Structure 1
Amino acid sequence: MRNFMINSKWGVLLLSAVLVTACGTSSATSSAVQATATAAATTVQQNTTPSGVQLASAKLADLVTFDEEDTLTTWSADNSTTIALNGTSATISGSGAEAKAGLVTINAAGTYVLSGKLTDGQLVVNVQDKGTVHLVFNGVDIQDSDSAPVYIKQAGKVILTLQEGTENTLTDGANYVFEDAASDEPGAALFSKADLTINGTGKLTVNASYKDGITSKDDLKIMSGTIEVHAADDGIIGRDMVAVQEGTITITADGDGIKSTNDEDAAKGFVAIAAGTFDIKAGNDGIQAETALLTDGGTYTIVSGGGNANGGVKTEDRGGMSAPPGGWTQGTVPAAPSGTAATTDATADAVADAAATEAGADEAAAAETESTSAKGLKAGGNMTVNSGSFTIDAADDAVHSNSNVTITGGELTLASGDDGIHAEATVTIASGKIEITKSYEGIEGANIIVSGGETKVVASDDGVNVSGGNEQSAGGAQGQSTDTAAHVLTISGGDLTVDATGDGLDSNGSIVMTGGNVIANGPTNGGNGTLDYDGTFELSGGYLVAAGSSGMAQAPSEDSSQYSLLMTYTAAQEAGTLVHLEDNEGNTLLTFAPSKTYQTVAISSPELKEGATYTLYTGGTSTGTEVNGLYADGQYSGGTKVTDFEITSSVTYLSESGVTTGNTSNRGGGGGFGGGARPEGGTPPEGGTWQGDGTPPDRGTAPQGGTQPQATTGTEGTSSM
């Protein structure tokens, strides 16, 4: 075969997207798609998003204001009271404070400069007139064996300045003695019942053996400084808010790293970070907000729950039964649900008992997960990442919101024992660079919108999963929704690369694609599909290549306005075997090396034209530059021609014999198998047989311990796998 130069627009576009900065990636969506996505997101948000500060996309100024007073670090000896700590006593020069043995009490507003060491004592702030107290730590070491070293009982506001060039330490004991037996306060080594601001350029080390490191029952603002916390429970807590403008913060905590806890006021309970450097090792969540969590910048290294290696063992949900290790093999699927005509009463009872047992186990697991949540970033309301550099290794979800996740910039490298990014409502990726190096499911949400950015996903189950929620309705199993219109994966821009052991792009609703570049390396087992949708996949723009197994393969919908093809091979092709597509003039449309064994390849490009003829090759080599499996420029040679074909319909189904007759109704969206009928000359998936009328293969044998499932003809529609 002759050599020639590759001038694929697809390869150039994808290569360029990798070379430019992530924040510069953006794409406009069509008005129709935007309306669809917005309507779907609005429907979900109305049901799940609190009012007040819960903005789908926000800036730090929407949540918090840093007052001029918060930046106050200056002081003078003439206008302040000095407190010199000395073992078990203190010497006070000035007014507003008193010392009794190891107890130092501040009872008036003003500025207090502290230095020295208390070996077993306490600093108490108790200002009745709600004035502002300015504490200056000028080389302080306070140890208290049975209570909080610093206890702010009452004040209008406390500003704690870490004096430049100083190191300050607070250390408590493992057991507290409370003034009131019914009280649990103070509960942290630095405990404030008033608004607390920390600033300055010095260092504060907090050793909290009893419970929490730093706690404010009101607002907590960190303006600057170096803060190191070692905590038996949570590291840093601000009940109403935690707001960080700058600083270097290191936390080792058996509980949560940083969190805000107010669950009674939707305008509070948030975490907002403008900048700073964060190194957090947390037994539970890294950063957790009861309501909103927002970052406008910062550098974050977060390990939660010991990292992804401590994630729970995950099995693929197949409507009440778990998949065997490695997933379902081609031609084998779980037993049919009870109640079908071919299921005996005994089998139905066995299936019901198994489902009940598993449901109970799932509930217990859910309760355990709730009590030991180990997520990297977690928000009860909306989460917005506008900027920042994140390296997160989480036993649970790396990024999680009970409402919406919106990413408009930044760089995120995520490893998770569960989901990489999870939202109960909508995940929106508008810009930024995201790499999910390990996950069970890569990105999951009731709706997912990708309009920009560069996103790479590695998942042991589904790569991108538009879930159907937990509602149950007629014809739908628990955990799946039959309202496919309410759940949409929308892709209008950006680069999305998926490597999934389960489904590559999975929507328990529909998929709408108007732009962007999508590369999906899907499953090698026949119980999953690289493209998997229950409704429709309307494709009108962008570039798509999806390679994987053939057992559950789908192509875009027949009513798409951009042309696609689905090639099904008789036998599986080895990983790295090139797929090369060119037009009748020898111009390259695609040269692609799937990263795993594959038997089908779906391709869609704006360059595919009706009435034009094309040639598909397999194998060979390319001298071009490879990015995510796609080659740009260079020469392709040495491949084997598979088939010549002409584009005559929106979806062209191919086998080694040429064009086959495709099924216009894809599985889940009206029946059918894999988006097309039996390929001419092809063979069924391993363990299955083709039906005489060209309908899907028999579902093969049940996994060990299951019953023989019935064949699905596709005439009544099938549920998503």
Structure 2
Amino acid sequence: MRRPRRVIAVPAVLLSLLLAGCTADALADTSTGASDVADTADTAGTTTATDVAAGATAEEVLAANAEVHEVEDAGSATGTITLAGDTATSDADGVTVDGSVVTITAGGTYTLAGSLDDGQVVVDAGDAVVHLVLDGADITSSTGAALVISSAGSAVVELADGSSSTLTDAATYADADAEDEPNAALFSTADLTITGDGALAVTGTANDGITSKDGLVIESGQITVDAVDDGIRGKDYLVVEGGTIDVTAGGDGLKADDDSDATAGFVVVSGGDVTVAAGGDGVDAETDVVVTGGTLDVTAGGGSGTEPTDETSTKGVKGGASVVVGGGTLTVDASDDAVHSNGIVSVTDGDLTLSSGDDGVHADAALDVTGGAIDVLTAYEGLEAEAITLAGGDITVVASDDGINAASSATGSTEDAQGDWAGPGGESAGTASLTVTGGTIAVDAGGDGLDANGTLTISGGTVVVNGPTDDGNGAIDADSTPSVTGGTLVAAGSSGMAMAPGTDGQGWVSATFDTAQAAGVTLAVVDADGTVVATFTPTKQITSLVISAAGLTAGEQYTVVSGATASGDAVAGYTTAGDASGATEVLTVTAGEHAAGMGGGMGGGGQPGGAQGGGQAPGRPGSQG
């Protein structure tokens, strides 16, 4: 089930490109880049990704984006600028001082020290490269930005080792909304690099803290930003390679917002220790967000306990085309989606710990997980996309509604369709897909555990679902009969909407209990020889249990007992061995058939009291099969 929410439609022609996939070479050779963004906006005004391939790696996405600038040589010219209250002095030829305004007009390396109580440092050096060393420089302005790079070939701000500097801008700017006019305490129109092992505290009193109208690379430093709007913004790109960065922002925390170039507008975190507390989005990229290393800790919109609003986007990490995690540690607590993309989300490595007031991970088109660890601590829905492929990694989901939801956007909505019954799911048939080929997935859901508004296919991995307790939802909910040809599936929960796999895959048992089985009491599946082939200890009261595993043989009889002892490594309460001596027999089942417990519970396909033969496609208990 889904609560009403604003949705973003992905046009079918664009969706076909997203789901088609492509090789690394194809991505690198494409003329438009992996983060091409359609000119046509959806009804919410958000641009839509076109040709980021589902399952793209960080390397592939980065190869198709614009090349990040490198630090250029500033030449041999050097100088010292001494800030002294309401004025300044310098021994450099390329520096002029007019009252409390210091202007640098030539390339070179300049060291700034001292304080400007109400002044400004301006770089107006044409195409020359300027290297500024802040060595205990404190600059406060009452008229605009504290440090402005209005023209330069490129600029470097180095934080001298052991030093501490501050930049504070005015509360209002005269021309802050004009094109290329300063709107941040540290503002640059040129490519900007921040480096060094010193400390810098930036206060953006009017708008942003640090902004580059070109690219912005942070190599190192201890940087603290407190801004009323965006914290750190690179228009073309923002790349964090190292340092310790702490951002508090009324708007977005880290941002890249170039919407005119398909290869720009991206954010990369490859190192460092970054903490963001944002009133808006924690990380917001017009195209791609790529995390390959470091630590990124994001709180957005007050966290998961705060109700999101339609007025402000409060997602944790948001990429217009993609969010790709290939390493590092990502922790998010967001009032809206923790991780969100209008296109694809791909996780190949790294550790993600997510708390969300809405979806833990949401992708309009495709979500691919091939490695790493994803732990959704709390969410309305855990994982959601039109095409979900789980091929590796360790995934844990706790959701108040659906745990993993494959929801079609081809109909213009990512909501569960509530039309006429058209299949075992009891909902309008959808085109979405949920495919599991590997990894370990543990789901604790208040709604449907695995919800596929289309197809559900499992051929590998281990999937354990502690599903709902109400009969309006099921541990498995699919529009067509689930296909399980390999791996392990354990689905426990209520029986009113319970489903089991088809009969053309590996063996499975499905039991419907007339008397609810208590949480914390271990159930075991025992073969005819008395050997325990599986145990499961539910975390909630259950009336349905489905297990599909390699050790189960279709047509063979098994006994389900209560009060067994589990042994071996457990995955969300499931093990492959145990001791059933002294346990209480609950019912006997035949693999590949539905069985109901004493008292005449409903079997599959609406067959009351007993078993349904494995030759029929299994349906929902009590529904028309």
2:544 corresponds to? 600
Q: CA deviation at 1:270?
A: 0.3
Distance 1:416 1:52 in 2: 25
2:609 corresponds to? 680
1:399 corresponds to? 339
1:580 corresponds, among 512, 524, 536, to 524
Is contact 1:643–1:658 with CA below 8 Å preserved after alignment?
A: no
Matches within 5 A, 1:525-564: 525-558=470-503, 560-564=504-508
C-alpha distance after superposition, 1:258-304 (max 9, x if no partner): 01001111100000121110111111111111101101101122111
* TM-score using structure 2 length: 0.85
1:714 aligns with 2:624: yes
Q: CA deviation at 1:412?
A: 0.9
Report % sequence identity: 42
Distance 1:479 1:240 in 2: 48
Distance 1:245 1:203 in 2: 16
| Cα distance change of structure 1 residues 477 and 500 upon mapping to structure 2, 3 Å threshold | closer
Amino acid in structure 1 at the alignment position of 2:597: E
Q: CA deviation at 1:254?
A: 1.0
Amino acid in structure 1 at the alignment position of 2:511: M
1:119 corresponds, among 117, 120, 134, to 117
1:440 aligns with 2:380: yes
2:9 corresponds to? none
C-alpha distance after superposition, 1:350-377 (max 9, x if no partner): xxxxxxxxxxxxxxxxxx42x3111111
Q: CA deviation at 1:79?
A: 3.4
Is contact 2:606–2:624 with CA below 8 Å preserved after alignment?
A: no
C-alpha distance after superposition, 1:400-440 (max 9, x if no partner): 11100000011111111100000001111101111111000
| Cα distance change of structure 1 residues 483 and 43 upon mapping to structure 2, 3 Å threshold | farther
Long gaps (5+) in structure 2: 1-14, 23-33, 39-47, 612-618
Match of 1:452, SS state, is: strand
Greater helix proportion: 1
1:174 corresponds, among 168, 171, 174, to 171
Match of 1:536, SS state, is: coil
Is contact 2:134–2:157 with CA below 8 Å preserved after alignment?
A: yes
Q: CA deviation at 1:241?
A: 0.3
Distance 2:360 2:421 in 1: 21
Is contact 1:419–1:442 with CA below 8 Å preserved after alignment?
A: yes
Distance 1:611 1:589 in 2: 15
1:69 corresponds to? 71
2:595 corresponds to? 654
1:42 aligns with 2:40: no
Is contact 1:510–1:537 with CA below 8 Å preserved after alignment?
A: yes
Distance 1:383 1:590 in 2: 38
Distance 2:566 2:265 in 1: 55
2:583 corresponds, among 639, 644, 649, to 639
Q: CA deviation at 1:41?
A: 2.2
C-alpha distance after superposition, 1:498-520 (max 9, x if no partner): 00000000000101110000000
Aligned length: 574
2:411 corresponds to? 471
1:514 corresponds to? 459
2:10 corresponds to? none
Distance 2:115 2:419 in 1: 61
| Cα distance change of structure 1 residues 38 and 480 upon mapping to structure 2, 3 Å threshold | farther
Larger Rg computed on CA atoms: 1
Amino acid in structure 2 at the alignment position of 1:103: V
Is contact 2:69–2:191 with CA below 8 Å preserved after alignment?
A: no
Q: CA deviation at 1:578?
A: 1.9
Match of 1:489, SS state, is: strand
Q: CA deviation at 1:679?
A: 3.5
| Cα distance change of structure 1 residues 496 and 527 upon mapping to structure 2, 3 Å threshold | same
Q: CA deviation at 1:661?
A: 9.8
Q: CA deviation at 1:66?
A: 5.3
Is contact 1:653–1:659 with CA below 8 Å preserved after alignment?
A: no
Is contact 1:415–1:439 with CA below 8 Å preserved after alignment?
A: yes
Amino acid in structure 2 at the alignment position of 1:134: H
Is contact 2:520–2:537 with CA below 8 Å preserved after alignment?
A: yes
Q: CA deviation at 1:69?
A: 2.3
1:412 corresponds, among 352, 376, 400, to 352
1:389 corresponds, among 329, 354, 358, to 329
Q: CA deviation at 1:146?
A: 2.1
Amino acid in structure 2 at the alignment position of 1:69: V
2:81 corresponds to? 83
Is contact 2:207–2:230 with CA below 8 Å preserved after alignment?
A: yes
Match of 1:676, SS state, is: helix
Match of 2:305, SS state, is: helix
1:148 corresponds to? 145
Amino acid in structure 2 at the alignment position of 1:656: G
2:281 corresponds to? 285
Distance 2:256 2:85 in 1: 35
| Cα distance change of structure 1 residues 187 and 123 upon mapping to structure 2, 3 Å threshold | same
1:459 aligns with 2:369: no
Q: CA deviation at 1:213?
A: 0.1
1:565 corresponds, among 482, 505, 509, to 509
1:301 corresponds to? 297
Amino acid in structure 1 at the alignment position of 2:157: L
Distance 1:170 1:253 in 2: 16
C-alpha distance after superposition, 1:110-147 (max 9, x if no partner): 2111111100000111122x121111111110000120
Is contact 2:376–2:398 with CA below 8 Å preserved after alignment?
A: yes
Distance 2:173 2:412 in 1: 49
Is contact 1:54–1:266 with CA below 8 Å preserved after alignment?
A: no
C-alpha distance after superposition, 1:543-598 (max 9, x if no partner): 1111000111111123x321222110113222122220021122221111111111
Is contact 1:678–1:695 with CA below 8 Å preserved after alignment?
A: no
Q: CA deviation at 1:394?
A: 0.7
Distance 1:646 1:621 in 2: 23
1:208 aligns with 2:204: yes
Distance 1:499 1:555 in 2: 18
| Cα distance change of structure 1 residues 636 and 488 upon mapping to structure 2, 3 Å threshold | same
| Cα distance change of structure 1 residues 287 and 515 upon mapping to structure 2, 3 Å threshold | same
Q: CA deviation at 1:51?
A: 4.5
Distance 1:479 1:194 in 2: 58
| Cα distance change of structure 1 residues 458 and 599 upon mapping to structure 2, 3 Å threshold | same
Distance 2:464 2:586 in 1: 22
C-alpha distance after superposition, 1:447-505 (max 9, x if no partner): 110000110000000000001226269x9658999995731100000000000000000
Is contact 1:413–1:434 with CA below 8 Å preserved after alignment?
A: yes
| Cα distance change of structure 1 residues 714 and 376 upon mapping to structure 2, 3 Å threshold | same
Q: CA deviation at 1:39?
A: 9.2
Amino acid in structure 1 at the alignment position of 2:71: E
Distance 1:227 1:249 in 2: 5
Long gaps (5+) in structure 1: 1-36, 313-367, 663-674, 683-693, 698-712, 716-721
Distance 1:54 1:214 in 2: 33
* TM-score using structure 1 length: 0.74
1:630 corresponds to? 574
Distance 2:469 2:602 in 1: 24
Amino acid in structure 1 at the alignment position of 2:209: G
Distance 1:120 1:212 in 2: 19
Is contact 1:472–1:479 with CA below 8 Å preserved after alignment?
A: no
| Cα distance change of structure 1 residues 176 and 114 upon mapping to structure 2, 3 Å threshold | same
Amino acid in structure 2 at the alignment position of 1:571: T
Greater relative contact order: 1 or 2 (C-alpha under 8 angstroms, separation 6 or more)? 1
Amino acid in structure 2 at the alignment position of 1:41: L
Distance 1:645 1:261 in 2: 59
Distance 1:55 1:95 in 2: 55
